[in-house]
A and B are shown apart, each in its own frame.
Chain A
Amino acid sequence: MSQHQEKARIIRFEQLSEFNIRITLEAPLIAGSAEAGQFVMIRTGPGQDPLLRRPFSLHQTSSSGHIQIFFKNVGRGTNILAHAKVGEILDVFGPLGRGFSVADDRPACLIGGGLGIAPMLFLAKIVSSLSREHGQDLIILGGRTREDVEPLVEDFRQFGLALHCATDDGSYGLKGFVTDILRSEQLAANTRIYGCGPDNMLEVLHRFSTERKLDCQVSVESVMACGMGACLGCNLDASDGSYVHVCIDGPVFDTRELSWNS
């Protein structure tokens, strides 16, 4: 485990839809050591307000030392980043946390809902690079409308894995939820599900995988201050009655580790 604090130059800024943005940064140390499902903490500026870094899961890394984040302009921090320009330098800290544990020999079902699509691109690359048959691997992406999903589809298609999409309003792919597609699929008994998305989606994944006796790993979100286990601010209820901390125990958990009685 090695963590780096890098001054990362923005080399590409993509406005994928009205609110969805993708930023590519030059961060070779982080890119070189990151695993799918890990995250970075980014300082939106040098000032005192907003004070804290913001956590972003790694959307993609490249062997040329680039990392990507994919986010929605929803709050003060993301609004500042939404106005960042190519050439600007951001203070990026990472890679942080525990990423996905990929089972080499098992079919993978990757499910991303909304911004939960972000870490799935990195994971799809890892899964597609495994030297085994990929006929049973599957990617399911979903969002509220076409613009949440369509701009990302080409990037997923490059890996050659089966890909299905759903939108709440039916403007792209199936009308419905990613979990509707999941239920309609014939999954091999040893499939491992990897999910990221809204809490209610993750809860459905947990119940589905429990019923079908499938492994299911999900990446969860939390408010965070440090991202590295110092502040202990990002706790969640664990299934055994204790707490887990998203930044060091996660952000990826086996769904059986978490309490879903919310």
Chain B
Amino acid sequence: MEFVKDHDPYPDLRVNIGSLELQNPVMTASGTFGYAREFEDLINLHRLGGIIVKGISLEPRAGNPPQRIVETPCGMLNAIGLQNVGVERFIAEKMVYLKGIGVPVIVNILGDTIDEYRQITERLQGVDGIAALEVNISCPNVKKGGVAFGTVPSMAAAVTEAVKKAADVPVMVKLSPNVADIVEMAKAVEAGGADSISLVNTLIGMAIDLQRRKPVLANVIGGLSGPAIKPIALRMVYQAAGAVQIPVIGIGGIESAEDALEFIVAGAAAVQIGTANFINPRVSEEVVDGIGDYVKTNKLASIRDLIGALEV
């Protein structure tokens, strides 16, 4: 693809995730941005690179009992339990608004079995306004299935294959960091046919209420997110990007343009912003602006010149 760069007063922030074109590399991470409408008064949604909506399952899920979240040093643990409205209500109630925003909408999907992943992918076939699917194989909060798909390479590849076979849009697979070898996982889903990979999901953690000698979270364990996990995420993105040919999307503790740029330099073609949305609803747009400033200040022809530009 050729981009016209001459006489463009705006910095060129366009990136490609395989066949998917984004106006800039900043997306909002699943589960941290609702179905986007929640943020419409607070941010210019049309300025985002992409929106990844809350994970959707075949049937609605009520999620875990309280307490679901707890703050930890420079981060938070969550065990929401994949609460969502289910695919039918998602299509009927949420898609109309989402497709009107004018930026790529990526639907995060999840399931307990390979067949559920296949079914939900089939149900989303032909639904107007969906730019891509993101496959959640890594959410640590549901006791059956979720963890195994994300931590066993052959299972991750099998889910990827099933979704890819049924999907009529590009497929992004979201990796769990709770593995011994992230490179092996990245290669497995690439071999399974993934068009791109996003990483990392949350790191499994725990918090204890010493006074009551009980876990703080009703689910006992939860997923750690926020700035606390950024160095781990950055390392995994760097390793994965060096090992696969498909685009890599960086996620983990990003709350500024500098954070996002570090992931891009490490090899990410784009990034997702998660927990920071809870603290500053405007953060994604501020990161877009900050990346633009960086490209201008450093006189780069395009943000694409920075992808994987790390000098080791």
A residues near B (Cβ < 8 Å) are 1-3, 5, 43, 48-53, 91, 93, 222-226, 228-237, 242-243
Contact = CB atoms under 8 A, between A and B. Distances in A.
Interface stretch (B63-71, B113-121, B191-199): B63-71
A248 to B, nearest CB: 9
Given A228-B38, A237-B66, A93 B281 contact: yes
The secondary-structure label for the interface of chain B is loop
A222 B71 CA distance: 13
B279 interface: yes
B34 interface: yes
Contacts of B75: 51
Contacts of B71: 50-52, 223, 225
A233 B34 contact: no
Interface in B261-285: 275, 277-282
Contacts of B39: 228, 230
Contacts, number: 90
Contacts of A226: 277-278, 281
Contact of A230 (B34, B62, B66, B73): B34
A199 to B, nearest CB: 12
A235 B226 CA distance: 21
Contacts of B255: 48
A231 B69 contact: yes
Contacts of A228: 38-39, 281
B32 interface: yes
Nearest to B67: A223
Given A3-B41, A230-B32, A222 B74 contact: no
Contact of B65 (A2, A48, A230, A237): A237
Nearest to A75: B71
A-B interface, 5 closest residue pairs, ranked by CB to CB distance from nearest: A233-B69, A226-B278, A225-B278, A230-B34, A48-B74
Contacts of A49: 73-74
B151 interface: no
B76 interface: yes
A237 B66 CA distance: 8
B78 interface: yes
Which interface residue of A1, A48, A224, A237 has the most chain B CB atoms within 10 A?
Answer: A48
B274 to A, nearest CB: 10
Contact of A48 (B62, B70, B227, B278): B227
B76 A225 contact: yes
B68 A43 contact: no
A242 B255 CA distance: 33
A148 B5 CA distance: 65
